[in-house]
A and B are shown apart, each in its own frame.
Chain A
Amino acid sequence: MFNLLRIAVRNLRRYRRRTILTASLIVTGVVFVSVFVAVSGSFKNMMIGQITDSFLGHIQIHRKGYVASIDSLPLTMNLKSQAVKKIDEAIKGIPEIEAYSPRIKFAGMFSNFVETTNIKINGVYPEKEIKTAPLFLSRIREGEKIIKKGEILVPELLAKGMKAKVGDMVVVIATNKDGSVNGKQFRVGGILESVTGPGGRDGYIHIEDATEILRMDNMEISEIAIRIKEFSQLHETHNKLQDMLSKERTEQGKPIFEVHTWEKLSPFYNVATMIDMMTFFIKLMLVAIVLISIMNVMIMAVYERVREIGTIAAIGTLPGKILSMFVIEGFCLGLIGAVIGSILGGAIIFVINFSEITFNFGRQKGLILSTSVNPNDFLVISVIVIIVSVLASLQPAFKASRMDPVQALRHV
């Protein structure tokens, strides 16, 4: 094997210019793909982090059917205390869960005594909400970074439209599930920065204020948002939770709860899927570049060395070894391209991070493009390049191994 490798490397050095040209093509492809994967992956992860850590949570539990009518925030589909207790027990049995936050969500009217507009209200336990959505506090642009009883955090756009400032008194009016209209006066405790997707126009109050407006004698919860310790375990944790809660059934045998990951709840998931698709096609382009360039070089190599192939075949080299000789040559070309490309790609990613390039996403401005280098990405790209290189060499190598020595020795 070492001798085949030695011959392959020397043959690559023999046609130095061609080897450099082909390797450069592969290097360019690997650099392009690795930088794209790093940038797009980081962008995707950052946006997922923003969405889940700002308000959505990683997983949410609702009463069955709630998500289908989530736009109207139906109070009739809230979870009663007994159901919440069951969820509590299930959550406690899953060590992967870091925190959870019960929420009461309802639609209401927001009035500054001059104008009135509609608003979506989230009643939350402040401590639980902050543990479940750790970036929540960073969204408070003005006012104290806390949710106090008797205060409301107003979304930025709504505050602007209603000319509400921190310290102003406002009224929130809502209809409870029995149909009676109730109102409560609040002090504007803070202005909330908008986020992408649903929840960008939601106001926040203390959960006890929510029960007061809705005149709930027994607290009923609209949703429970969950944060898990390791994001990579999202689906395992979701499945575990789903399995535990699917045992809970109504008298008619229908499931009581529905459990969703953030993917089912945020439209950004479609953008994330598109990014994945683009990454896939970029990788496909890399495969094409490597396949065509290696195949071209190896076909040329076989054509130029017909007499040499005839000689080694005449001497008694078995067809399998002749095949290996050319396949190893392609393998080496792929390996060189993958290694140099990965090093260069890593260097470019480092420069991007060092430059702290900023970008805007929706209403969020000045986000820093922080690309993360995952060694697995480089490994996957390199393995793809090497496998494709070997595959591209197979046809010319097979042709060389099957060559008739008499014909090959006659070749001029």
Chain B
Amino acid sequence: MSLVVAENIDKDYQAGEISIKALKGVSFQIEQSSFVSFVGPSGSGKTTLLNLIGCLDKPTHGRLRVADTDVSTLDQKQSASFRGNHIGFIFQDFNLIPVLTVYENIEYPLIMVQNVPVQERERRIMSLLEAVGMGEQRDKYPDQISGGQKQRVAVARALVTNPNVVIADEPTANLDSKTARMVIDLMKKMRDESGTTFIFSTHDPRVVAEAEIIYTLEDGELTGREAKGGTDDV
């Protein structure tokens, strides 16, 4: 069974009196442990699609199943709970909580969302801090570390809940090429170690090159699927 199954998804937005079709009849499947990238020009619908897979928004039409759950039928509370247990997020601007230290930022979803016992929390956080190379920065606040370090903390925060899927919207957009490379390598390494599926959107050709499956979006339509080792038309 595929981890993400999208069947003929439409997403319409209302901008004043004008209705904008952000996604038109999008269908795809993503398997467990994949490293998938959605590419396309600005306004092609990448972020909208990631928001739908991340259960932050609902499709106007069509069916979307994530981890065996029809996410289009969940209410606000159920959606929040589903995200907390199944989905991790990495944001373009890192979005760490400024009043919490590196350690506490990673700890946040374990306390506030999953209620994980303290010893288990500590074990998971320390292991991830070591994995992302931030062990020595654990007591620093976000404004005391660099952009690349922030994104590494964000990767650890996304993975600490053992999610099925990590959604990363332009994760390297605010990073220099060396740091971007490091973050992509880290994401791939974490995928290999934890088996978590990474789905991200990007403009960055170096990041695209690392993806195993690349979906191309244009004007809200899925126009191509490229898997390492072959290309399909959608």
Contact = CB atoms under 8 A, between A and B. Distances in A.
Contact of B89 (A10, A14, A315, A318): A315
Interface in A288-312: 307-308, 310-312
Contacts of A405: 56
Contacts, number: 69
B112 A312 contact: yes
A12 to B, nearest CB: 9
A11 interface: yes
Contact of A316 (B84, B93, B95, B99): B84
B76 interface: yes
For chain A, give the interface size range: 20 to 34
Contact of A311 (B57, B76, B97, B111): B97
Contacts of A335: none
Interface string B95-114: 10111100000001101110
Contact of A314 (B89, B99, B161): B89
Interface in B13-42: none
Contacts of B93: 307
A409 interface: yes
| Residue among A3, A10, A405, A406 with max Cβ neighbours from chain B (10 Å) | A405
A14 B141 CA distance: 12
B80 A316 contact: yes
B113 A315 contact: yes
Interface string B79-91: 0111111010101
A311 to B, nearest CB: 4
Given A3-B111, A14-B99, A409-B91, A316 B56 contact: no
Contacts of A315: 83-84, 89, 108-109, 112-113, 157
A411 to B, nearest CB: 11
Interface residues of B, number: 28
B99 A307 contact: no
A72 interface: no
B57 A317 contact: no
A133 B99 CA distance: 65
A14 B81 contact: no
B123 interface: no
A10 B104 CA distance: 12
Contacts of A11: 99
Contact of B76 (A3, A14, A312, A319): A319
Contacts of B108: 312, 315
A314 B111 contact: no
Contacts of A308: 95, 97-98
